[in-house]
Amino acid sequence: MVYHVKGGYRLIVYSKPDSKPSRADLESIWESGGSGIDIRYNDVDAFVRDNPSQDAITEEQALDIAKKSLKMEFEAVSWYILGESFEPIGKDAIFARALLDSTYIIDESCWILRVKETPEWGGSY
């Protein structure tokens, strides 16, 4: 079972039917699966301190984490690009519409990042 934990974490509980859990892993959603700790045997406070929640990091730290994890250049997205309407045509308007369409899944503080323009992609995001 996978449980959403506020602040950018997930708790993954492993068990066989009709038995006690064999693992209970806490992971940061910033990292790949298997990168967390088993909360039954490890220090949860130390893990949280070493893997800060999204609302506890700065924009610069979020960009640095994304760059190191995904090996791409990112830029932060401000909600101002949503504007009043989507009349203008262009990459910001298209991105704004996609962002607005996905807001139903954003249920906590988070950083919204997008890949910077790259020549090899024809300058698109």
Pairing mode, strands 21-28 and 2-5: unpaired
Q: What is the mean pLDDT of residues 23-32?
A: 84
CB 71 within 8 A of CB 60: no
Do 62 and 122 fall within a single domain? yes
Do 40 and 74 fall within a single domain? no
Cα 104 → chain centroid:
15
Its pTM stands at 0.48
Domain count, the chain: 2
Cα 64 → chain centroid:
13
How many CB atoms are closer than 10 A to CB 70?
11
- Contacts with 115 (C-beta within 8 Å, 6 or more apart), sequence order: 72, 73, 74, 125
Q: Which pLDDT score is estimated for 106? A: 61
Residue range of the domain that includes 7? 1-52
Do 82 and 113 fall within a single domain? yes
- Contacts with 80 (C-beta within 8 Å, 6 or more apart), sequence order: none
Q: Which pLDDT score is estimated for 1? A: 87
Do 38 and 77 fall within a single domain? no
Q: What is the pLDDT of residues 77-100, one digit of tens each?
A: 765 555 555 454 566 666 666 666
